[in-house]
Chains A and B, each alone.
Chain A
Amino acid sequence: MTGEPVIQVSDLCVAFGDNVVLENVSLDIEEGEVLTILGGSGSGKTTLMRHMIGLREPQGGSIRVLGRDIARGGADLEAARRDMGVAYQSGALFGSLSVLENVCLPLQELTDLPGSACEWIAQLKLRSVGLGQALYRLPSELSGGMKKRAAIARAMALDPKILFLDEPSAGLDPITASDLDDLILDLARSLGMTIVVVTHELASIFKIADRAVILDGARRTIVADGPPAELRDHSDDSFVRRFFRRESSNESTG
């Protein structure tokens, strides 16, 4: 690798109509890093992530993923997406397909693997998120947490270079959430996957994150950037201090 950041966000500006959400946000994410995006509700965490995936065109600034400029869509975005896996907050599983078929889908559509190989791989991915017993169930028969884990298995199906997880452990029981954290760490450590996690769970942040960035909805930008423990112990910013003291107190300011 050349040492160039995997994701490079420069001077990103985002507005919904007159409502400016992000202003001059700049962020470099290095290869193999586990980065968490934190912030109160409505501070633009998910919006920032949606721009990194290229789902929205920003009002200003540039976003480069794996050396390709994706902010304006087109072929570069399509090429970059081959190396991204995304697990959405609600799961976004296809309701008419079984869990196994959901994970098989990207393998079947985007690789030349035979059907049996797709199933073998999908089954391994689902076992790794603890859904080995639910392979043939429909999404409608799963609980919220199971849907989330199935979505993560689907996001990992193609072994992407970058994995985006939108609130992966929200609504999960502590044991499953902790297993999920272990899984994220494994992916990053042994496969060198770059992982971007939007989350609220303080426990999981300290366990998995190499680095955390905190968005403040009032200032519309990143107000802190660094290893989470360092931010907690040494930040001078009152917002950041409050955030780590009692994360839920941000709801009113976010």
Chain B
Amino acid sequence: MASEPEALQHSFEDGPSGQRLALRGALLTSSLGSFWRTLERLDEKSVSDLREIDASGLTDFDSNGLALLLSLQSRVRAAGGDCPLTGLEPEAQKILDQLEERLAAEDVPTPPQKSSFVVAVGESTLRFFQDLRTLIAFVGELTLSFARALRHPSTIRWRDTLVQAELVGVNALPIIILLGFLIGLILAYQALIPMQEFGAGIFVANLVSLSLLRELGPLMTAVILAGRSGSAFAAEIGTMKVDEELDALETFGLDSRRYMSLPRVMATVFMAPLLTIFLNLVGLMGAIAVMLGQGYAVSAFIRQVKLQVDYVDLLGGLFKALVFGLLVAGIGCLRGFQTGSGASSVGVSATRAVVSGIVLIIAADGIFAVLYNTLGI
């Protein structure tokens, strides 16, 4: 509806006492860019030589345009000069006065300094250890409430625990089966190539069963749990925290940490060994599929498995799975409780839950390796 605004033009004119900047046209946000750049390129000397800004030729203006004039004026003042604005419409003058008043009214804080590399490294190291301490404290707290709950089973919220068991366990079964079968298959296939060269093809059964039951079964199950359930716990609890639902629980007089984490941790602790059994089983089936294709009998495979592994291997693996389950669920809940505020923080918590979960699993697995070795298991 309005006609195109007249383009902004400027010229520097020499006067008796110094330079004069004359403006013509429209001083609007949309046309400020090149003029502002020109002003930025002015050196100190020409800035301090500026004696007057003549705005009488301006046909239109907005407050961003006036902000530019103000910025120029304050630069001139900083350089020790002074350059009054002349010919400004009274309305514009009024806005300018207001802007100036605001500038004078308070000092703005300085932007936060980016810390140096050394400080950053120090700080993140400190954060890492603080985080580790919180984690250990949380797992301890959790174990205590777990033990208390087992002593008084009536205090356990069974319905919630069963719902979580379904989410963590039953719903994870398809991916556990797929992954387990493929791991068994790939392991057997890769091992078969070199072992057949030595005529030891049948010992693939020993290799697959031992590595699955003792190591890969619990490990892969825990990794899947970290990706599926740990992140889900963190996101769910994190969202509840952002929406102040956890505060609501607290004001009922409930311990929100215990209330939220106990059913989840319990469900995961019980489901992790169960899922591991499934993964072991279908992993062996995957290996059998490969062996059958190479002409070995199923009975021969099973005999080799029985010779190689016993219940100690199986139970050792399942105990590992149980501990992994505790760690994954615990860290998932903890990251949820640590969520800051805002939409992005929930995503951050979920990611942190998965990453710390996997790191913890690997670390715990290392400890188990040493432990089992010492105990001769």
A→B interface (CB under 8 Å)? 1-2, 4, 66-67, 95-96, 107, 111-114, 116-117, 120-121, 123-124, 127-128, 132-133, 135-136, 138-140, 156, 158-159, 186, 190-191
Known: A95-B342, A186-B98. A124 touches B103 (CB 8 A): yes
**Contact for B95 among A112, A138, A191, CB less than 8 A:** A191
Contact A133 B108 (CB under 8 A): yes
Q: List chain A residues, Cβ under 8 A from B17.
A: none
Q: List chain B residues, Cβ under 8 A from A128.
A: 98-99, 102
Contact A111 B102 (CB under 8 A): no
**B91 part of interface (Cβ distance < 8 Å):** yes
B→A interface (CB under 8 Å)? 1-2, 28-30, 32-34, 36-37, 40, 62-64, 67-68, 70-71, 91-92, 94-95, 98-99, 102-103, 105-106, 108-109, 111-112, 340-345
Instruction: With a 10 A CB-CB cut-off, give which of B30, B63, B64, B108 has the most chain A CB atoms.
Output: B64
> Interface on chain B toward A: helix, strand, loop, or mixed SS?
helix
**Contact for A1 among B1, B94, B95, B343, CB less than 8 A:** B1
Known: A96-B344, A140-B340, A140-B341. A135 touches B108 (CB 8 A): yes
**Contact for A121 among B64, B112, B344, CB less than 8 A:** B64
User: Whose C-beta in chain B lies nearest to the C-beta of A128?
Assistant: B102
Contact A124 B62 (CB under 8 A): no
Q: List chain A residues, Cβ under 8 A from B63.
A: 124, 156, 159, 191
25 A/B residue pairs, CB under 8 Å, sorted by A? A4-B1, A95-B344, A95-B345, A107-B29, A111-B30, A113-B32, A114-B36, A117-B32, A117-B36, A120-B67, A120-B71, A121-B67, A124-B67, A127-B103, A132-B102, A132-B105, A132-B106, A136-B111, A136-B112, A140-B340, A140-B345, A158-B64, A159-B62, A159-B63, A159-B64
Task: Give the complex CA separation of A156 and B64 in angstroms.
Answer: 10
Shortest distance between the CB of A114 and any CB in chain B (Å): 6
Contact A132 B108 (CB under 8 A): yes
Known: A116-B40, A136-B112, A140-B341. A111 touches B33 (CB 8 A): yes
Contact A191 B2 (CB under 8 A): no
Contact A113 B109 (CB under 8 A): no
Shortest distance between the CB of B229 and any CB in chain A (Å): 26
Known: A67-B1, A96-B344, A140-B340. A133 touches B109 (CB 8 A): yes
User: Whose C-beta in chain B lies nearest to the C-beta of A158?
Assistant: B29
Q: List chain B residues, Cβ under 8 A from A159.
A: 28-29, 62-64
**Contact for B1 among A2, A186, A190, CB less than 8 A:** A2
Given contacts A117-B40, A140-B340, 19 further A-B contacts (CB under 8 A): A67-B1, A111-B33, A113-B32, A114-B33, A116-B40, A117-B36, A117-B68, A121-B64, A132-B105, A133-B106, A135-B111, A138-B342, A139-B342, A140-B342, A140-B345, A158-B29, A159-B63, A186-B95, A191-B62
Q: List chain A residues, Cβ under 8 A from B341.
A: 140
User: Whose C-beta in chain A lies nearest to the C-beta of B110?
Assistant: A136
Q: List chain B residues, Cβ under 8 A from A1.
A: 1-2
Q: List chain A residues, Cβ under 8 A from B29.
A: 107, 111, 113, 158-159
Task: Give the complex CA separation of A67 and B343 in angstroms.
Answer: 38
Q: List chain A residues, Cβ under 8 A from B109.
A: 133, 135-136
Task: Give the complex CA separation of A55 and B98 in angstroms.
Answer: 34
User: Whose C-beta in chain B lies nearest to the C-beta of A131?
Assistant: B108
Known: A1-B1, A124-B99, A159-B62. A113 touches B33 (CB 8 A): yes
Task: Give the complex CA separation of A113 and B35 in angstroms.
Answer: 9
Task: Give the complex CA separation of A1 and B2 in angstroms.
Answer: 6
Shortest distance between the CB of B255 and any CB in chain A (Å): 25
Contact B36 A113 (CB under 8 A): yes
Shortest distance between the CB of A66 and any CB in chain B (Å): 6
Task: Give the complex CA separation of A143 and B93 in angstroms.
Answer: 34
Q: List chain B residues, Cβ under 8 A from A158.
A: 29, 64
Contact B342 A124 (CB under 8 A): no
